Structure 1
Amino acid sequence: MPANMPRRVKWRKVQKGRNRGNATRGNTVAFGDFGLQSLDLGRVNSRHIEAGRIAATHFLHREGRVYIRIFPHKPISSKPLETRMGKGKGDVDVWTALVKPGTVLFEIGGVPKEVAKAALLRIAHKMPVRTRFVQRRHGL
């Protein structure tokens, strides 16, 4: 079982739903000193998250700390190619995290600003949404 999926779920398959509005929670840098904030609505799946984590840890040479602020809770199902319609909903294909504008995706701490910015840029290239670099705001 992949690490980036829930251990137990109440329902194996869920309805599509709608992803609307801006992030009201999880929109500030909380654990590290610098973060990667989403500018778009979208779905970030477990493969994107893992690719970003590997890119950052490889660049940082295991210095500092990488915090993953999103978790893929939502299962996305799909039917196999060249399958006729009907016969029920398809199997779960991938697990995704629904991301809104303002959601902090990753954080980095324990490294200088330039190093963190370069590492977060490498993560940003792996993400399916537009992102920006943000810093922790002290005194709030």
Structure 2
Amino acid sequence: MGRGKRRGAASTGNKVEFGEIGLKAMSPDWITARQIEAARVAISRHLQRGGRTWIRIFPDKAVSKKPAEVRMGGGKAANDHWVAVVRPGRIMFEVGGVPLDQAEAALLRAAHKLPIPTKVVYKDRINALLTGTGG
């Protein structure tokens, strides 16, 4: 039984599509709606409402929880909170329209609000320019 599978790498949402820089998950976990909102607020406050932010995950899985000291049985419990299932390689947040160093600092602040290890990644064309491998 259990609560669903989180095995394997992300097959969709694993590339920076909208912005120039993104925050990538490095391990599987559930990210709650509160954690997503805390990360979003951290990004928007650091950017001072500048640029554009994309949230690439959505908490669409309901997690139920029985109250404390309740006996077994009695059916399924009420929904307690909502989570987004995140696999390794998933791009969770993207930022564009601001300087790269400012965007990277904003994403690092958001990473502190999340319960998993993350990595800042760049769009392919920017990555090529930064490493000097063409573009």
Per the TM superposition, whether the score is higher than 0.5 is yes
Q: How many residues align?
A: 126
Aligned to 2:124: 137
The match for 1:106 is 93
Larger Rg: 2
* Identity percentage of aligned residues: 48
Deviates more, 1:85-94 or 1:27-36: 85-94
- Counterpart amino acid of 2:113? K
Distance 2:45 2:69 in 1: 39
Deviation at 1:90, TM superposition (A): 1.1
Report the counterpart of residue 117 of structure 1 in structure 2.
104
Q: Any gaps of 5 or more consecutive residues in structure 2?
A: 129-134
Is 1:56 the counterpart of 2:43 in the alignment?
yes
Alignment partner, residue 64 of structure 2: 77
Tell me the equivalent position of 2:9: 22
Paired with 1:43 and 1:52, the residues of 2 have a C-alpha distance of 14
More helix by share: 2
Can you give the 5+ residue segments of structure 1 that lack an aligned partner in the other structure? 1-14
Deviation at 1:37, TM superposition (A): 0.1
Q: Which runs of 4+ in 1 moved over 6 A?
A: none
Q: CA deviation at 1:28?
A: 0.3
In 2, Cα distance between equivalents of 1:93 and 1:71 = 16
What's the RMSD between the two structures over aligned residues?
1.5
Amino acid at match of 2:41: I
Residues 68-89 of structure 1: per-residue CA shift (max 9 Å, x gap): 0000111011001121111111
User: Secondary structure of 2:124's partner?
Assistant: coil
**Matched AA of 2:65:** S
* TM-score, L = length of structure 2: 0.89
Q: CA shift at 1:113, angstroms?
A: 1.1
